[in-house]
């Protein structure tokens, strides 16, 4: 069940919604048009095949109608196809122009003069179209669902509304219906063909939305976890603040240079005079406007530059470049040498390096360090090339937004500001980092911001976190030159600290963390053992009943800490041999002598691991059935039978050293509950994975948010309660949350966590990482200027 706040019901108007660069939708328009042409062609062909099949088994009463429909399709197919394509192109163009724009008349505009009666046949046609839309929607999932979510997120809308998707199924159905109505004049024939063509189009739809979705993905847009309503409201307030500041900057005719002179660009004058600092929008807008002027957009009398991107597009392009095949990981190879740029690039990097090393030491960090725009002003015109100037400007603006991010404590904002110079140097060395969320510099930046959402200033351990962040950043500032692993080392150090900080002073939490680690370790040993046994059994063509027993039941015996591992391993060969066909009296006699001891040892092994009597008896009964089939000569021959000695040699490989797996393991509710009860630990358990499965991309993103120290909200009794992710088991199988107002922690299995994040019973405090929030804010600033120039 999803919990909705009233703020989520706000419908964003076009004026208030963030304008997204049109290029993304224009790029998607072409595959939508070409894809529809292919879809329409396939639909007509499929419909004709379906009519042929229907005619073969049709009753005489229906035969004439079907023949007329087939004849009509053959005669008018070319015209019908052309009209479908024409209507779709027309509807798509209008849909792209009216996204998030309410074109309906308001109540004040309604009068007797503009009221219209709707005829019955119009209502009937709409019902027919809606019925087809429902079938198309079902056929297009999950790609259509992700596309709806991407478009809603691009417009900053918390509600996913398919009607705002210009590529929605309604356009497909309407294009078919209108083309048929214009082409086939006979109403009965047109209605019958619509039903037949609808079925055909639904069948041919697979793949249509994949191509459109890929365009959005290639521009760095992905479907994300639905953001917190309060966070979205904050983003809306941010956009309104940008618009108000832009009105003051441009609407009142104030020159950017005048505002800069009065301290609005960097806040320096206000700070020196002891006045309250101006809002970040007022400080940043003059810089954004200067960038627009440099690109010829606002220069009075300057000729238009037809190929120059506008400011929004420039910001978008820098931070959302098309994705390419995976490059080498940043910790696999050293960073490349500075790109071409000659002496100007070398001089710029030298100046940045000097600024990086001049960062104040912890002992003298009482006064505020210079802000990002102050540092940008010191760089003046050091950037020699246009791409370098754009990078310097936008990264400086990005960090100006970060150091004023109201979602972060003041101390953490200032600490993140210290990353500005090394981050800029890294961007000059490796521009891909600005659109690569996996880059170590971005991961460190976002990780610090995320930890600050779960470990907040009112907590006793918060000062220790601030000190550790200082230490980590000191290391980055001292060591970073060209090696990006410096940032990765800083993140590892912070992660290790957070993992030890949270259980410090909380004995109950520490015991629970140890317990989930032990439960996972036990399950992981059994899972890894079962995987190894499965690989050894594969070439043996063993009876499935014995194979399942070995990988499920006996694998637990093999990893049980109190058992005789050598004896349990020796039984592997006997279990497999006992299930093979016995061709000679000697083999059957040998098996009869072996069985009593074998059954006894199996029973003892199952008892040693605490297997319940019912489950143990069922397993033994299964073995007895296998052995009865063998002795009764009903067992089919094995394709790769071995004698006992050969099997012992084969399973000797099981005892060899092997690398432990790293993947999460499945842990059942009963297993987890029993393990915690055995240690006297109380915890709320969430183990139900639900019925819906998250998309692989969503899973990676959601699990990337689920790191120790992150702030969450958990739905409890119909309301959201603050929670902190306190620990994650080493292989990511179990997640332990401390929930406000609850003495017992809450433990989620991996699948249950994903299900809870998907249905929004568990959500992050951050609607997006720090870096993405800053980019969103810059886009809002570019929109505000674009709307007022």
Residues 147-167 pLDDT 10s: 888 888 777 676 788 888 999
- What pLDDT is stored for residue 473 in this prediction? 95
> How far is Cα 396 from Cα 427, in angstroms, rounded to an integer?
11
Average pLDDT on 362-390 reads 73
Asked if 193 and 180 touch (Cβ cutoff 8 Å), the reply is yes
Q: Are residues 183 and 247 part of one domain?
A: no
Average pLDDT on 61-76 reads 84
| First-to-final CA distance of the chain | 45
CATH of the domain at 741: 2.30.30.30
Count CB atoms within 10 A of the CB of residue 107. Answer: 5
Please determine, for residue 179, whether its predicted confidence score (pLDDT) is greater than 80: yes
Residue 342: exposed, middle, or buried by beta-carbon count in 10 A (0-12, 13-18, 19+)? exposed
- What pLDDT is stored for residue 35 in this prediction? 92
Q: Are residues 135 and 13 part of one domain?
A: yes
Residue 336 lies in a domain: no
Asked if 415 and 490 touch (Cβ cutoff 8 Å), the reply is no
User: Which residues on neighbouring strands pair with residue 736, listed in sequence order?
Assistant: 727, 747
pLDDT in tens, 642-667: 989 999 999 988 877 667 778 888 88
Count CB atoms within 10 A of the CB of residue 743. Answer: 8
pLDDT in tens, 6-57: 333 333 333 333 445 566 788 888 899 999 999 999 999 999 998 888 888 7
**CA-closest candidate to residue 415, choices 488, 423, 779:** 423
The four Cα atoms 232, 402, 775, 710 give a dihedral, to 10 degrees, of -60
Q: Are residues 49 and 17 part of one domain?
A: yes
> How far is Cα 113 from Cα 570, in angstroms, rounded to an integer?
92
Residue 283 lies in a domain: yes
Strands 711-716 and 684-686: unpaired
Q: Are residues 281 and 397 part of one domain?
A: yes
What the block records as the tokens of 410 is 């003041």
pLDDT in tens, 225-274: 444 455 556 666 777 788 788 877 775 554 444 444 444 444 333 433 33
Which residue reads 């005048």 in tokens?
A: 258
User: Which residues on neighbouring strands pair with residue 737, listed in sequence order?
Assistant: 725, 746
Q: What are the CA-CA distances from residue 279 to residues 51, 284, 403 (Å)?
A: 68, 9, 12
Q: Are residues 81 and 198 part of one domain?
A: yes
Asked if 98 and 14 touch (Cβ cutoff 8 Å), the reply is no
**Average pLDDT over all residues of the chain:** 81
Q: Are residues 214 and 72 part of one domain?
A: yes
Residue 491 lies in a domain: yes
Residue 3 lies in a domain: no
Q: Higher-confidence residue: 537 or 359?
A: 537
Residue at which a domain ends, from 184, 202, 223: 223
SS3 state at 434: helix
Q: Are residues 60 and 200 part of one domain?
A: yes
Q: Are residues 651 and 613 part of one domain?
A: yes
SS3 state at 693: coil
DSSP state of 519: H
Count CB atoms within 10 A of the CB of residue 759. Answer: 16
Residue 516: exposed, middle, or buried by beta-carbon count in 10 A (0-12, 13-18, 19+)? buried
DSSP state of 719: E
Average pLDDT on 718-735 reads 93
What the block records as the tokens of 558 is 């093999």
Q: Are residues 570 and 495 part of one domain?
A: no
What the block records as the tokens of 383 is 């950037």
Query: Over pLDDT 90: what percentage of the chain?
Result: 36
Count CB atoms within 10 A of the CB of residue 586. Answer: 9
What the block records as the tokens of 438 is 């996996």
Average pLDDT on 732-744 reads 93
Residue 780 lies in a domain: no
Please determine, for residue 289, whether its predicted confidence score (pLDDT) is greater than 50: yes
Residue 241 lies in a domain: yes
> How far is Cα 181 from Cα 195, in angstroms, rounded to an integer?
13
- The number of domains in the chain is 4
> How far is Cα 536 from Cα 387, in angstroms, rounded to an integer?
57
> How far is Cα 8 from Cα 361, in angstroms, rounded to an integer?
45
Residue 386: which domain range? 230-300+309-319+343-359+369-501
**CA-closest candidate to residue 556, choices 522, 593, 508:** 522
Q: What are the CA-CA distances from residue 451 to residues 18, 715, 766 (Å)?
A: 28, 21, 11
Cis amide bond preceding 234, omega within 30: no
> How far is Cα 179 from Cα 468, in angstroms, rounded to an integer?
67
What is the biggest distance separating any 2 CA atoms in the chain, rounded to whole angstroms? Answer: 106
Query: Over pLDDT 70: what percentage of the chain?
Result: 79
Q: Are residues 722 and 644 part of one domain?
A: no
Please determine, for residue 275, whether its predicted confidence score (pLDDT) is greater than 50: no
Asked if 163 and 144 touch (Cβ cutoff 8 Å), the reply is no
Q: Are residues 523 and 476 part of one domain?
A: no
SS3 state at 619: helix
> How far is Cα 676 from Cα 674, in angstroms, rounded to an integer?
6
Residue 427: exposed, middle, or buried by beta-carbon count in 10 A (0-12, 13-18, 19+)? buried
**CA-closest candidate to residue 213, choices 147, 287, 271:** 147
> How far is Cα 299 from Cα 341, in angstroms, rounded to an integer?
28
What the block records as the tokens of 75 is 């005669």
The model carries a pTM of: 0.72
Asked if 397 and 387 touch (Cβ cutoff 8 Å), the reply is no
> How far is Cα 428 from Cα 422, in angstroms, rounded to an integer?
10
Residue 32 lies in a domain: yes
- What pLDDT is stored for residue 740 in this prediction? 92
Residue at which a domain ends, from 597, 632, 655: 655
DSSP state of 156: T
SS3 state at 432: helix
Cα-only R_g, the chain: 33
Question: How is 374-411 classified by DSSP, letter by letter?
Answer: HHHHHHTT---SHHHHHHHHHHHHHHHHHTT-TTS-HH
- What pLDDT is stored for residue 695 in this prediction? 61
Sign of the C-alpha dihedral, residues 420, 424, 425, 431?
positive
Asked if 547 and 521 touch (Cβ cutoff 8 Å), the reply is no
- What pLDDT is stored for residue 260 in this prediction? 41
Q: Are residues 150 and 13 part of one domain?
A: yes
Please determine, for residue 64, whether its predicted confidence score (pLDDT) is greater than 60: yes
Please determine, for residue 569, whether its predicted confidence score (pLDDT) is greater than 70: yes
What the block records as the tokens of 403 is 């150091």
Residue 335 lies in a domain: no
**CA-closest candidate to residue 570, choices 649, 642, 633, 505:** 649
Asked if 674 and 535 touch (Cβ cutoff 8 Å), the reply is no
Which residue reads 């063998």 in tokens?
A: 630
What the block records as the tokens of 26 is 């224009």
- Alpha carbons within 13 angstroms on the beta-carbon side of residue 327 total 15
Residue at which a domain ends, from 189, 223, 257: 223
**CA-closest candidate to residue 415, choices 429, 427, 428, 399:** 399
What the block records as the tokens of 169 is 């199924």
């Amino acid at each position: 069940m999803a919990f909705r706040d009233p703020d989520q019901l706000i419908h964003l108007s076009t004026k208030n919604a963030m304008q997204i660069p049109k290029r993304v939708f224009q790029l998607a328009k072409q595959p939508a048009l070409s894809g529809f042409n292919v879809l329409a062609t396939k639909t007509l062909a499929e419909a004709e095949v379906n009519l042929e099949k229907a005619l073969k088994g049709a009753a005489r009463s229906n035969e004439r109608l079907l023949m007329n429909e087939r004849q009509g399709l053959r005669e008018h197919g070319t015209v019908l196809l052309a009209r479908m394509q024409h209507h779709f192109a027309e509807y798509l163009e209008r849909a792209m122009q009216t996204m998030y724009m309410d074109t309906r008349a308001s109540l004040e505009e309604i009068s007797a003069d503009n009221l219209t009666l709707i005829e019955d046949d119009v209502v009937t046609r709409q019902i027919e179209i809606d019925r087809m839309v429902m079938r198309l929607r079902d056929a297009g999932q999950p790609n259509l669902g992700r596309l709806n979510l991407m478009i809603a997120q691009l417009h900053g809308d918390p509600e996913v509304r398919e009607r705002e998707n210009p590529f929605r199924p309604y356009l497909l159905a309407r294009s078919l219906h209108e083309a048929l109505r214009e082409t086939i004049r006979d109403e009965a024939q047109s209605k019958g063909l619509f039903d037949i063509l609808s079925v055909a189009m639904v069948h041919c739809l697979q793949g249509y939305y994949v191509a459109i979705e890929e365009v959005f993905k290639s521009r760095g847009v992905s479907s994300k976890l639905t953001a917190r309503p309060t966070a979205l409201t904050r983003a809306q307030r941010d956009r309104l603040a940008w618009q108000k500041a832009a009105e003051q900057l441009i609407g009142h005719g104030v020159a950017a240079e005048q505002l800069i002179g009065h301290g609005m660009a960097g806040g320096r004058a206000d700070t020196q005079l002891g006045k309250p600092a101006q809002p970040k929008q007022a400080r940043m807008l003059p810089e954004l406007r200067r960038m627009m002027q440099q690109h010829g957009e606002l220069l009075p009398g300057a000729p238009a530059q037809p190929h120059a991107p506008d400011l929004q597009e420039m910001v978008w392009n820098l931070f959302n470049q098309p994705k390419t095949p995976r490059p080498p990981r940043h910790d696999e190879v050293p960073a490349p040498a500075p790109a071409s740029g000659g002496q100007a690039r070398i001089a710029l990097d030298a100046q940045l390096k000097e600024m990086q090393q001049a960062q104040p030491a912890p002992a003298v960090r009482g006064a505020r360090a210079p802000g990002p725009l102050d540092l940008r002003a010191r760089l003046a015109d050091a950037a020699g090339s246009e791409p370098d100037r754009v990078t310097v400007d936008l990264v400086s603006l990005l960090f100006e937004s970060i150091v004023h991010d109201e979602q972060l404590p003041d101390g953490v904002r200032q600490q993140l500001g210290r990353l500005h110079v090394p981050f800029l140097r890294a961007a000059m060395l490796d521009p891909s980092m600005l659109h690569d969320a996996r880059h170590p510099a971005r991961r460190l930046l976002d990780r610090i911001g995320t930890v600050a959402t779960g470990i907040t200033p009112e907590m006793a351990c918060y000062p220790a976190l601030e000190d550790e962040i200082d230490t980590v950043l000191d290391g980055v500032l001292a060591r970073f030159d060209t090696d990006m692993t410096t940032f990765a080392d800083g993140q590892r150090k912070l992660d290790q600290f957070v993992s030890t900080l949270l259980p410090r002073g909380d004995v109950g939490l520490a015991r629970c963390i140890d317990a989930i680690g032990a439960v996972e370790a036990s399950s992981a040993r059994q899972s890894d053992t079962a995987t190894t046994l499965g690989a050894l059994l594969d070439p043996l063509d063993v009876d499935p009943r014995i194979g399942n027993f070995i990988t499920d039941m006996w694998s637990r015996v093999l990893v049980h800490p109190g058992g005789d591992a050598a004896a349990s391993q020796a039984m592997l060969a006997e279990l497999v041999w006992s299930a093979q066909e016995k061709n000679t009296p000697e083999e059957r006699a040998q098996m009869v002598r072996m069985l009593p001891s074998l059954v006894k040892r199996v029973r003892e092994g199952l008892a040693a691991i605490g297997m319940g009597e019912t489950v143990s008896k069922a397993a033994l009964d299964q073995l007895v059935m296998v052995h009865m089939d063998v002795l009764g000569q009903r067992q089919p021959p094995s394709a790769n039978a071995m004698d006992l000695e050969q099997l012992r040699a084969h399973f000797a490989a099981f005892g060899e050293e092997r690398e432990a797996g790293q993947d999460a393991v499945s842990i059942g509710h009963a297993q987890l509950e029993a393990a915690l009860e055995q240690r006297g630990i109380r915890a709320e358990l969430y183990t139900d994975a639900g019925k819906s499965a998250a998309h692989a991309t969503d899973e990676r993103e959601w699990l990337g948010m689920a790191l120790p120290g992150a702030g969450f909200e958990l739905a409890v009794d119909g309301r959201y309660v603050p929670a902190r992710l306190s620990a994650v088991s080493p292989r990511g199988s179990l997640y332990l949350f401390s929930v406000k107002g609850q003495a017992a922690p809450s433990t989620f299995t991996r699948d249950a966590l994903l299900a809870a994040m998907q249905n929004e019973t568990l959500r992050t405090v951050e609607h997006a990482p720090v870096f993405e929030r800053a980019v969103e804010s810059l886009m809002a600033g570019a929109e505000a200027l674009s709307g007022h120039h």
